[in-house]
Structure 1
Amino acid sequence: MAFIPLSVPNMAEKEQEYVLDAVSTGWVSSVGPYVERFEKGIASYINTPNAVACQSGTAGLHLSLIALGAEAGDLIMVPTLTFIAAVNPVRYISADPVFLDCDDSLCIDPKKLRSFCEECCYIKDGALFHKDTDRRIPVLVVVHVFGNMADMPEILKIAEEFHFKVLEDATEALGTKYLEGPLNGCMAGTMGHLGVYSFNGNKIITTGGGGMVVSQNAELLQKIKYLSTQAKNDELYFIHHEIGYNYRMTNVQAAIGVAQLERLETFIATKKENYKLYKELLEDIPNISIMPVVEGVRSNYWMYSVCFENSKVRDDAIKELDKDKIQTRPVWGLIHEQNPYINNITHNLEKANFYGSRILNIPCSSGLTIDDVKTVSASMHKLQL
């Protein structure tokens, strides 16, 4: 039986053609025509005025927190059920996270967000503060987990009411969009004050590494670009008024991204069909269920998540599927339980604990074949659940 990986890049001739073009012209560093082309391509795809390419999704989140005015000593609201890269940038700016619960979408629960703001916080001079510590809370980082959409209409309503800014971690959700409701047509990453995408090797499109920051606010994007290029106020005499960062994407990476973006909708269509096939083939297995997508949303179907009856059954399944050369991955360890964050504030965590011990991600590459899906499903049918 051939090995079936969890999520790997899907490369073709255009990626090679564009990279060779970038190399042959000598534009291999952090400037070049493909960087601008990729930025404009992403902006056009998601319908924003512009976009700023950067070194990684993590770098994009770091820059975004700074641009949104978060400072040392602040508290930043974050999910605990997410990859740790969504939280670490909070510490980069010497702030601290407050960990919030998820709902059944695996994204931040707006009801818990509201209860935290109402019960644990107060508003002073147009800003939100934490009652017990009197620390300011200027930003919420909302993650669209596995390509599913968080409840943005409600989250944005709460943000306006309680005076905090919304940073969308859409690193897993490029292409996810609303199909109905007040935000009909809006793409993940475009509804908050800033949004960030990732092009890591396992994402729906990849540049090997790299990220992108987007916004409807041109001034915020200008600040992001300024910070990402070492904060140069005078490029001839190298005058810098702020601390900047070497966070720009290279032209070679962007060349791959341009080619990948041309194929994004094809990837999403394939992943949707594979999700539907998995759902059909797995529905009669007792004690597991494939996690649904949010109603009224076109997901990018980045990851396929299966919920098991309990953690032991899930962990046994990982071992058994590995014997069949099928790579799977449990959901991340909850961030509030990680050593750097065990002393941070949490608020009424329930479903994150439940799903954190039961979710398993199964193979989901855009190059996954129908036979691959059938093979994985057949192996899951053999599990002793």
Structure 2
Amino acid sequence: MALTTRSVTSMARVRARAHVFARAGDRASRRGARAGLVDARRATRGAGDEPAVMAIGRESLERRLEAPMVGLGTWKAAPNAVRDAVASALRVGVRHIDCAAAYGNEHEVGVALAEAFERGDVAREDVFVTSKLWNDRRRPGDVREALETTLRDLRLEYVDLYLIHWPVCWRRGTVLQPDAEASIAECWGELERLVQEGKARRIGVSNFDEVQLAALLDDPRTKIKPACNQIESHPMWSNDDLVRFTQSRGVRVVAYSPLAQGGSLFTHPLMVRLAKKYGKTPAQIALRWNVQRDVIVIPKSTSAERIKSNCDIFDFELSEEDVLEMKILDVGKSTATAPWSHFAPVASRNRWLRPLGRVLSWLPSKFIAIDVQRIGRSGFISLRAPWS
């Protein structure tokens, strides 16, 4: 069901229908998603020079959690800049911070969160924090250790959402080296235990295609349904079939790289014309396009001005005609070019790049261990015995 809003003044309340995650494991359990309420508010915070705070449209989830429709992505955020970006985002009302161990900056995000909580800028329970489990942590003991490391880095007692980053299983400390003794199903079972222990409020997946998502959903061992599938989606690659399939199974979609990293998307004549028509920026048009598909967006930015602008998308609605015209932008451009990606825009290239990378990294993996959760810090690379 598409999200709709109506134009209002800056102090008005905007209400719209949206899906919420299906409840898992209680008497209110439902198949698929249940209609919810998106409440986008704008308010000012005091007077003088204090910045305006915008409480971003958010979705009520089971277990009384909330996932705002617009969050802050931290992928590729430069060292030191991400701390200020998170602080700025929280000041302007962003309440959804998307992180991952592999981004190498969770410890900086943790500093920003701790400082904001200590200052009283925002309460912990009002911030939705997502993190992700890296590819070489699929065995139960590794899963638990990874989340505990993430919690220490983020200075939190729990994350609101914990995702399997990619649907692959690598040997611990390696890149592209398969772990024949690990599986997604076993990993998911341990994630379910971590939910029961309160270390993660919800669990989900990222970069799963239709077959991989269906396999997890239909596995009789799966007790807790994935809360979301975080995938790449933007006007230059809608990933439409996967979006529709995921939503049809009652799983929310979260779009990373929703701005396609700017560039040619922002300068396309159609985007320029639509921006002028609606009195918005091309970035706001792109984000609004996804939100109207009932897709949560997590644009990355380290600019306080752009972070605030990215959230200002709830006072207009793209017409059906404009949404249809935007289909011409869909040229299959992917920003996720890693050799382990199996998605269409890079699939043909990765069919030979992935095995090549596996061969080239095999010998180094015998002598060198890589701890992704220590990127940029001591312990990131260590020596190991070749027989281990």
Q: Same fold (TM over 0.5)?
A: no
Normalised TM-score (structure 1):
0.34
Higher relative contact order (CA 8 A, sep 6+): 1
TM-score, reference length from structure 2: 0.34
